[in-house]
Amino acid sequence: MNLRRKRYEFGRPSRSSVVVSLSLFGFALASACEQSPEPAAEPMMAADPPAPPSPLTNPPHDPAARESAARADLKAARSLVATGDVEGAQAKLEAMKLELGDTQTYRRRGRRLAAELAVVGQQAPALTVDKWFRQAEVDLSASSPTVVVFFEQWCPHCRNEIPKLDELYAKHKAAGLQLVALTKMTKGSTVAQVQSLIEDVSYPVAKEDGALSRAFAVSGIPAAAVVKDGKIVWRGHPAALDDASVAGWLASSCPAGRPNRSDSGPRARVDPTHAITVPTRGRIVVNGPSTRLNRVHSVATDQSWPARFVISSSAGPWPRRRAWLERCPRSSGLADRESGIASRSERH
């Protein structure tokens, strides 16, 4: 009985052998299916070629084309700076960094311009110097604008700009413009060389240790900045400074509004021909007691002094006319940029 059971067990296939056999059969069947020829396909119309992938937002360019695009973006950013749109210029440079940040134009010039614009709106540092070549009181916290220039005597571009800045300073000094030039005296510069360069300029010049250069993000010379009310309001090349921009900063130095007699300067003379003579630049204040009118006349920045202006009124001559010159606090800047005289009247 036991012998028969052993023979039966020996002759019955095991479960594992059955699984292996089924696997081999499935593999053979699949191979046969792959080798069998497919039936001929029905004739069809020719299909359209696959659409090309959509172009990238910023397709890659060859190096020359990328440099050309970077130069165009840099020029556009500088144009925005020239018009006073600092935020627009910063946005342009940020886009340039993302798209063309690997170009030499951005690495050498775009990055530097972005650093210069980053200081606009920042608090100006205290004016600390090592040595004065030509000393004068300079107040960076004043409401009148202060031009801060960085130069070196060995720099040919600096030697070209220093005399031009003196012309700008002489023209707007009476209106409240301040200007100071700073040098670190690098590359073995001597005191005699610096004094020779500034011999004919009238604005203050001093030596600094480099802290001011870092605070104003100066990485190339000549460089310039404009400070008003203790804050940096402009940063760029001194060649970009002109009469129009300076007049604009001066115009905002004196707040518009009804004049305050306590801030009045020297009185202007009124003669029988209904004219007043103004001794210096400022705002003419005319008062007529009978009509209770108060008129403010802002004088043009290019007017020569003393100046004489005729005051007229549709009601005829103002009896017992009085006039005086109003000065703005800490400066004699103007509240109006228009040429000639701008007038305004108010009841009180």
- Residues 225-252 have a mean pLDDT of 90
Which pair of tokens denotes residue 276?
């007043």
Residue 26, domain member (yes or no)? no
Task: Specify whether 278 is located in the same domain as 335.
Answer: yes
Range of the domain at 329: 261-347
Beta-carbon-side half-sphere exposure of residue 183 (alpha carbons within 13 Å): 27
Domain end residue (candidates: 87, 118, 149): 118
Residue 5, domain member (yes or no)? no
Cross-strand partners of 276: 270, 309
Burial status of residue 282 (CB atoms within 10 A of its CB: 0-12, 13-18, 19 or more): buried
At residue 84 the predicted structure's pLDDT band, cuts being 50, 70 and 90, is confident
Task: Specify whether 142 is located in the same domain as 221.
Answer: yes
Residue 30, domain member (yes or no)? no
Domain end residue (candidates: 95, 118, 141): 118
Q: What is the CATH number of the domain that holds 180?
A: 3.40.30.10
pLDDT digits (tens, 9 = 90+) for 59-76: 447 899 999 999 999 999
- Residues 205-212 have a mean pLDDT of 97
Task: Specify whether 93 is located in the same domain as 181.
Answer: no
Beta-carbon-side half-sphere exposure of residue 107 (alpha carbons within 13 Å): 6
**pTM of this prediction exceeds 0.85:** no
Residue 203, domain member (yes or no)? yes
Task: Specify whether 247 is located in the same domain as 265.
Answer: no
- Residues 207-216 have a mean pLDDT of 96
Residue 147, domain member (yes or no)? yes
Among the ranges given (151-160, 175-184, 278-287), the one the predictor scored with the smallest mean pLDDT: 278-287
Q: What span, in angstroms and rounded, lies between the C-alpha atoms of 127 and 211?
A: 10
Residue 31, domain member (yes or no)? no
SS3 115: helix
At residue 28 the predicted structure's pLDDT band, cuts being 50, 70 and 90, is low
- Residues 125-143 have a mean pLDDT of 90
pLDDT at position 83 is 75
Total count of domains within the chain: 3
pLDDT at position 22 is 52
Which pair of tokens denotes residue 326?
């109003």
At residue 109 the predicted structure's pLDDT band, cuts being 50, 70 and 90, is very high
Number of neighbouring beta carbons within 10 Å of residue 119 = 18
Domain end residue (candidates: 228, 251, 274): 251
pLDDT at position 262 is 34
pLDDT at position 298 is 42
pLDDT digits (tens, 9 = 90+) for 139-166: 898 888 999 999 999 999 999 999 999 9
Q: Is the pLDDT of residue 269 over 50?
A: no
pLDDT at position 34 is 44
Helix axes 86-100, 111-118, angle to 10 degrees: 150
If you average pLDDT over each of 144-148, 242-246, 307-311, 330-334, which comes out highest? Answer: 144-148
Number of neighbouring beta carbons within 10 Å of residue 279 = 14
